[in-house]
């Protein structure tokens, strides 16, 4: 190996460094400064949520941010204190000092270490995929509930009320205790809090980039300081400031192994274990969802295992440097991205600027009123109630609504760590309930060699029953499925065809169910044929012995041509039916030919069929597309079908045009531009075709005579007459051209019967 090859890594590193200094350094430094200006007041305020002095919020914003950025993969994720995590930390640790004779900080640092350890474990074991099974409704419900809890808990600080000695942990307890102490409101603290709220809200409305939180604490602090409201001489009306909680020394906390990490308490570890798992999962959900949202815009591909290890390592290291558990912050991450941050150095720069603020402005920060920080938190709490996503979850169906309400109510009534698990378990429960039932429909062949899909057990009786199976077929879904499949049998059923192409998660329980179903069919002298068998399913069938039991001649394997194997299976099924009929002496020949011309002699199966549940816009697109490729002289109607594939009605192109043009008067239509005309027509595109369809379409069947067809055509003014099967499904249509051919044939027969001169 040459010297040049040996030096190439160092030269590449130097080259990348020069490129970074030229192209990205300034953008990252500016983005980091923007994040710090917004994030410093938030970090101090979030520490109050956790029941800690504000300076620990700054420590967390510095240390966890750097560690997570160095190890993680996201170019824009900014880690630090978050409101939801701080609420959980308070819920988990507030009662521990009195119970175990320890300080609150000791409990918080130990919890942070445990949380980081669980997150690292998730990453190392590649269990990060569990986050995907937590629905968005859990995050929305928990965040909204946490916002309400934050607002309720900060009312006392905003109003200067002292709740010392009052046991109030749940939402209703805090609200009741606060209302009972309303006569003790500190008017000066309330004034500072009100000014803070007004400044934060107003700044955001004036310009998004105005540092509302920073301006608010500056104005609130100046108001309190210069009017002397923070002085002890104010007595009961004194406004508490940061210095009264714990002075900010203007330096980082030194490295120190938490006492409970060095000498763990078994009972305390057991009590905090479940909470640490909840905190870890919540932190990973926040980090993953935020990083994914930004990556979707930036185009970056994330490595979740690395991201989870980074989050866990930041908390584990942070517990040795005075930090509480942090996670990815949506607000700070969004600001970093929108401010032009390009690499992970932007997050590191935000930590550097926060450190500079701590070192230079620490003494000044001591005079920030507690009510000002509470005012910031009240605004943050309101923003946590995402009305758009709440409405989206509420209107998305019963399942998201159940998860949303369950998580939200649990957040307000239960300890927050349990609320997290309630939401997670609700998500998993609904997922299992949804996937725990295999979707069954029936396929009915049509005369043009295609298939119609109808609801299960609603197809017309036939010797061959074709069942389409889709979805999961693991142990929960396979339970009692064999008896469910038996419901499709009729007295005349001789063969059941199972289309199994869209099945997933097929295991031993599914094979046992399928074997039992085969036995139940054999007891009824009914054959089983399977189609759409893919390679994985074929292996399971072979291993279970069912492949031999069912018989290779009754198994048809998936092909790249859609329904190819099902068509072959149907051919096999009908051959079985014909063989049984021939051996039992059942004749299949038609009776003596009827002298009448019947509908079956004139019907065309190439009729256009459409579901009645569609909108007019879909019908217009279908008809225009068909007309473009049709050679017919006149447009044909759409025959509408119900969900059971029975004839529902008829929609002609003229009825569609009349509906669209109803609001266009002939007097002014001439002067309308194409765009104006289209705008008028567009207003009715969402009309349901069921409301404008013609329902009096008759009920003729294949044995209808030529006279009956002509009579209905004249009576109902139909140029195209629908012909149905006995069960009401559309078989085809008789056009006016076919009627003329039928009349010509009838006249020809008449000519043959007339005696010659």
Summarize pLDDT for 194-207 with one digit per residue, the tens.
999 999 889 878 87
Measure Cα distances from 351 to 44, 60, 112, 601 in Å: 14, 9, 19, 84
Q: Bridge partners of 578?
A: none
Check residue 589 and give its pLDDT.
Answer: 42
Q: Bridge partners of 732?
A: 723
**Are β-strands 555-557 and 495-504 bridged in parallel, bridged antiparallel, or unpaired?**
unpaired
Distance CA 299, CA 306 (A): 18
Q: What phi, psi does 648 have (nearest 5°)?
A: -110, -40
Task: DSSP letter for 253, please.
Answer: P
Task: Flag whether pLDDT at 538 surpasses 80.
Answer: yes
Check residue 287 and give its pLDDT.
Answer: 85
Taking the alpha carbons at both ends of the chain, their separation in whole angstroms is: 115
Task: Flag whether pLDDT at 663 surpasses 70.
Answer: no
Distance CA 542, CA 544 (A): 5
**Mean pLDDT on 202-220:** 83
* Residue 754 binned pLDDT confidence (cut-offs 50, 70, 90): very low
Q: How many residues does the chain have?
A: 757
Helical pair 25-49 and 345-365, crossing angle rounded to 10 deg: 50
**Are β-strands 609-611 and 638-641 bridged in parallel, bridged antiparallel, or unpaired?**
parallel
pLDDT in tens, 359-394: 888 888 888 898 888 888 888 888 878 888 888 888
Q: How far is CA 226 from the centre of its chain?
A: 52
**Mean pLDDT on 299-312:** 84
Distance CA 113, CA 268 (A): 13
Check residue 1 and give its pLDDT.
Answer: 44
The SS3 of residue 175 is: helix
* Residue 16 binned pLDDT confidence (cut-offs 50, 70, 90): low
**Mean pLDDT on 51-64:** 93
Distance CA 83, CA 326 (A): 9
* Residue 320 binned pLDDT confidence (cut-offs 50, 70, 90): very high
**Are β-strands 464-472 and 495-504 bridged in parallel, bridged antiparallel, or unpaired?**
parallel
Check residue 592 and give its pLDDT.
Answer: 40
Bigger pLDDT: 683 vs 61: 61
Check residue 195 and give its pLDDT.
Answer: 92
Check residue 588 and give its pLDDT.
Answer: 43
The sheet carrying 638-641 orders its strands as 609-611, 638-641, 647-651
pLDDT in tens, 422-442: 888 888 888 777 766 778 888
* Residue 348 binned pLDDT confidence (cut-offs 50, 70, 90): very high
Q: Bridge partners of 439?
A: 470
Residues 6 or more apart in contact with residue 12 via CB below 8 angstroms:
none
Task: Flag whether pLDDT at 14 surpasses 90.
Answer: no
**Mean pLDDT on 747-753:** 58
The SS3 of residue 2 is: coil
Distance CA 458, CA 461 (A): 9
In degrees, to the nearest 5, what angle opens at C-alpha 86 toward C-alphas 322 and 126? Answer: 85
Check residue 78 and give its pLDDT.
Answer: 92
Task: Flag whether pLDDT at 615 surpasses 50.
Answer: yes
Q: Bridge partners of 498?
A: 467, 530
Check residue 134 and give its pLDDT.
Answer: 73
Nearest to 732 by CA among 570, 602, 631: 602
pLDDT in tens, 121-136: 988 888 766 666 677 7
Burial 167-193 (b: 16+ CB within 10 A, else e): ebeebeebbebbeebeeebbebbbbbb
* Residue 447 binned pLDDT confidence (cut-offs 50, 70, 90): low
**Mean pLDDT on 85-99:** 90
Task: Flag whether pLDDT at 114 surpasses 90.
Answer: yes
Are 223 and 195 a contacting pair, CB within 8 Å?
A: yes
Are 349 and 153 a contacting pair, CB within 8 Å?
A: no
Q: What phi, psi does 111 have (nearest 5°)?
A: -60, -40
Cite the beta strand spans of 52-189 per DSSP E. 79-80
Measure Cα distances from 161 to 43, 155, 157 in Å: 23, 8, 6
Q: How far is CA 97 from the centre of its chain?
A: 41
Task: DSSP letter for 258, please.
Answer: -
pLDDT in tens, 222-274: 998 898 888 888 888 888 888 888 888 777 778 889 888 888 888 999 999 98
Task: Flag whether pLDDT at 756 surpasses 80.
Answer: no
How much of the chain exceeds pLDDT 70, in percent?
89
Helical pair 535-544 and 508-523, crossing angle rounded to 10 deg: 70
Check residue 665 and give its pLDDT.
Answer: 61
Task: Flag whether pLDDT at 587 surpasses 50.
Answer: no
Are 128 and 308 a contacting pair, CB within 8 Å?
A: yes
């Amino acid at each position: 190996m040459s010297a040049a090859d040996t030096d190439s890594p160092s030269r590449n590193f130097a080259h990348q460094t020069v490129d970074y200094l030229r192209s990205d350094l300034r953008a990252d430094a500016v983005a980091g400064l923007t994040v710090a200006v917004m994030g410093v007041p938030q970090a101090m305020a979030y520490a109050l949520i956790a029941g800690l002095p504000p300076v620990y919020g700054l420590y967390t914003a510095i240390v966890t941010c750097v560690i997570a950025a160095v190890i993680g993969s996201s170019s824009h994720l900014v880690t630090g204190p978050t409101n939801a995590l701080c609420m959980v930390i308070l819920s988990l640790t507030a009662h521990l000092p009195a119970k175990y004779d320890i300080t609150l900080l000791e409990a918080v640092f130990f919890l942070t270490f445990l949380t980081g350890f669980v997150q690292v474990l998730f990453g190392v074991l590649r269990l990060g995929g569990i986050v995907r099974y937590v629905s968005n409704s859990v995050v929305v419900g928990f965040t909204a509930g946490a916002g309400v809890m934050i607002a309720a808990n900060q009312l006392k600080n905003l109003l200067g009320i002292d709740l010392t000695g009052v046991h109030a942990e749940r939402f209703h307890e805090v609200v009741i205790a606060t209302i009972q102490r309303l006569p003790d409101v500190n008017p000066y603290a309330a004034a500072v809090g009100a000014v803070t709220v007004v400044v934060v809200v107003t700044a955001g409305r004036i310009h998004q980039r105005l540092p509302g939180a920073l301006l608010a604490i500056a104005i609130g602090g100046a108001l309190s300081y210069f009017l002397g409201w923070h002085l002890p001489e104010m007595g009961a009306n004194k406004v508490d400031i940061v210095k009264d909680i714990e002075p900010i020394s203007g330096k980082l906390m030194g490295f120190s192994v938490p006492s409970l990490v060095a000498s763990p308490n078994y009972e305390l570890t057991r009590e905090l274990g479940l909470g640490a798992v909840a905190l870890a999962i919540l932190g990973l959900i926040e980090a993953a969802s935020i990083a994914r949202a930004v990556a979707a815009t930036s185009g970056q591909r994330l490595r979740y295992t690395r991201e989870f290890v980074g989050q866990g390592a930041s908390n584990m290291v942070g517990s040795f440097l005075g930090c509480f558990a942090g996670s990815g912050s949506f607000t700070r991450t969004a600001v970093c991205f929108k401010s032009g941050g390009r690499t992970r150095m932007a997050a590191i720069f935000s930590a550097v600027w926060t450190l500079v603020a701590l070192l230079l402005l620490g003494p000044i920060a001591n005079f920030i009123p507690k009510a000002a920080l509470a005012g910031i938190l009240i605004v943050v709490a309101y923003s946590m109630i995402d009305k758009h996503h709440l409405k989206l979850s509420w209107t998305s169906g019963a399942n998201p609504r159940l998860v949303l309400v369950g998580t939200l109510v649990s957040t307000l009534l239960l300890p927050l760590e349990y609320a997290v698990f309630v939401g997670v378990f609700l998500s998993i429960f609904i997922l299992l309930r949804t996937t725990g039932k295999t979707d069954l429909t029936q396929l009915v062949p049509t005369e043009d060699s295609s298939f119609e899909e109808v609801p299960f057990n609603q197809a017309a009786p036939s010797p061959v029953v074709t069942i389409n199976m889709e979805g999961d077929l693991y142990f929960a879904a396979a339970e009692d499925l064999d008896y469910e499949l038996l419901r499709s049998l009729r007295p005349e059923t001789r063969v059941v065809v199972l289309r199994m192409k869209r099945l997933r998660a097929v295991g031993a329980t599914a094979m046992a169910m399928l074997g039992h179903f085969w036995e139940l069919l054999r007891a009824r002298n009914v054959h089983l044929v399977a189609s759409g068998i893919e390679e994985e399913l074929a292996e399971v069938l072979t291993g279970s012995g069912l492949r031999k039991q069912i018989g290779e001649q009754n198994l048809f394997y998936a092909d790249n041509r859609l329904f190819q194997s099902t068509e072959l299976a149907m051919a096999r099924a009908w051959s079985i039916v014909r063989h049984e009929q021939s051996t039992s002496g059942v004749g299949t020949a038609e009776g003596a030919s009827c002298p009448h011309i019947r509908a079956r002699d004139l019907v065309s199966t190439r009729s256009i069929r459409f579901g009645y549940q569609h909108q007019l816009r879909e019908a217009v697109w279908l008809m225009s597309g068909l007309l473009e490729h049709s050679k017919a002289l006149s447009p044909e109607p759409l025959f509408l079908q119900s969900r059971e594939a029975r004839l529902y009605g008829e929609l002609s192109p003229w009825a569609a045009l009349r509906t669209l043009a109803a609001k266009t008067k002939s007097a002014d239509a001439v002067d309308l531009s194409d765009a104006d005309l289209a705008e008028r027509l567009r207003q009715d595109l969402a009309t349901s075709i069921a409301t404008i369809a013609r329902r009096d379409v008759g009920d003729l069947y294949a044995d209808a005579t030529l006279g009956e067809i002509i009579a209905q055509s004249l009576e109902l003014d139909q140029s195209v007459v629908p012909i149905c099967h006995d069960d009401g499904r559309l078989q085809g249509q008789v056009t006016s051209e076919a009627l003329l051919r039928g009349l010509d044939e009838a006249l020809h027969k008449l000519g043959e019967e007339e005696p010659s001169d």
